[in-house]
Amino acid sequence: MAERKQVAFVGLGAMGWGIAANLAAAAKDGKIASPVLVWNRTTSKSEQHEARYGTRCARALPDVSQADVIITCLPTSTEVADVARELAPAMKSGSLWIDCTSGDPDSTKYISRMLKEAGITMIDCPVSGGPDGAASGQLTAMVGGDTNDVAQSVINIFAKKKIVRCGIVGAGHAVKAMNNCLNAAHLIVAGEALLALKKWGVQPEVALQAINASSGRSLQTEVRIPTQVLTRRFDYGFKLGLMLKDVRIAVDGLAACQEDRRGNSILTAVKKMLEQSVTAQGYDVDYTCVLRTLELEAGCELQGSAVPTAK
């Protein structure tokens, strides 16, 4: 980057904390201006981030308005729109907004139009890789909208695994929503299969040894179920309510064109299972707890000692 850009980060949650830490490291290396500004609704978290990584805690949201690049990582597009409405009037024309929230494509198009009126370019940049990927900078980014060199160089800092340009503004959010639908579907279907096998007398860790060397394997059978479910940890770091939000975006929004077969849609069944789980267990539990709902229905648990067979 020829001129070092001032970057501000909004939302130090499970994902934002690590992404902002990587930005702070890049600022120390001179890739972007130092310090990186961080704002969080709960100020004590941004104070902790400042103390740990050398970022600068913005106590009030308007304190970040003069940054060249604003990055948001908030629960939903509703919070992004609220922050954008508050910040846009004071922002510099020509600045850039990178939204790492897993947002709603239509809302993103609306926010993008609103920002454009203030001369601000928005791109959607949802990420995949979880809190561990955020901490290591090894995220996959799904980008919607027109990227330029500044956007590319900033996204490179935290999405070292892969950056995919998906299309127009909102396209990144559309792909992310479907990705998470597949994630949840794979988890639920694998949980159903393992519960059926357990009732039939096969222990889950034994079944996984075979499945993970066979064609039924997935990230869920190879990593997520062994590390989070069989161990009874259930703390991957992604809230069940946020997963439901993504699946609703995919099923109610993107798959609406499949109106004629929604009754039979597998993704609709995934959404119903997540809705049932949020009702029973709450928004904030880990998304892997969706298998607790299946276990309660089945009357048995997927306990075991299996270790992950892939990363």
Residues that bind ligand NDP (CB under 6 A): 11-16, 40-42, 45, 73-75, 79, 101-102, 127-128, 130-131, 237-239, 242, 246
Of the two residues 68 and 124, which places its CB atom closer to ligand NDP in the complex? 124
Taking the complex as a whole, the smallest distance from the CB of residue 266 to ligand NDP amounts, in Å, to 21
d(CA 156, CA 149): 10
Among residues 48 and 303, whose Cβ is nearest to ligand NDP?
A: 48
**Nearest distance from C-beta of residue 179 to ligand NDP, angstroms:** 9
- Please say whether the beta carbons of 250 and 178 come within 8 A: yes
CB of 5 vs ligand NDP, minimal distance in Å: 22
Closer CB to ligand NDP, residue 186 or residue 239?
Answer: 239
Q: Could you tell me the smallest distance in angstroms from the CB atom of residue 13 to ligand NDP?
A: 2
Least gap, CB of 203 to ligand NDP (angstroms): 29
Cα gap 19→216, rounded to integer Å:
33
Amino acid at 13: G
Task: State the minimum distance, in angstroms, from the CB of residue 177 to ligand NDP.
Answer: 10
Rg value, the chain, Cα: 20
- Which CB, 63 or 79, lies closer to ligand NDP? 79
| Cα separation of the two ends of the chain | 33
Q: Looking at beta carbons, which residue is closest to ligand NDP?
A: 13
Please state the closest distance from residue 40 (CB atom) to ligand NDP, in A. Answer: 5
Backbone φ and ψ for 65, nearest 5 degrees, come out as: -65, -25
For ligand NDP, the closer of residues 79 and 205 by Cβ is 79
DSSP 1-50: --SPPPEEEE--STTHHHHHHHHHHHHHTTSS-SSPEEE-SSHHHHHHHH
Nearest to 59 by CA among 35, 79, 42, 73: 42
With beta carbons less than 8 A apart as the criterion, state whether 14 and 131 touch.
yes
- Whole-number Å distance between alpha carbons of 12 and 8: 11
Closer of 47 and 192 to ligand NDP (Cβ): 47
Q: 126 or 191, CB closer to ligand NDP?
A: 126
CA-based nearest residue to 24, from 33, 36, 13, 14: 36
For residue 292, the 8-state DSSP code is H
Two structure tokens written together for 42: 């709960």
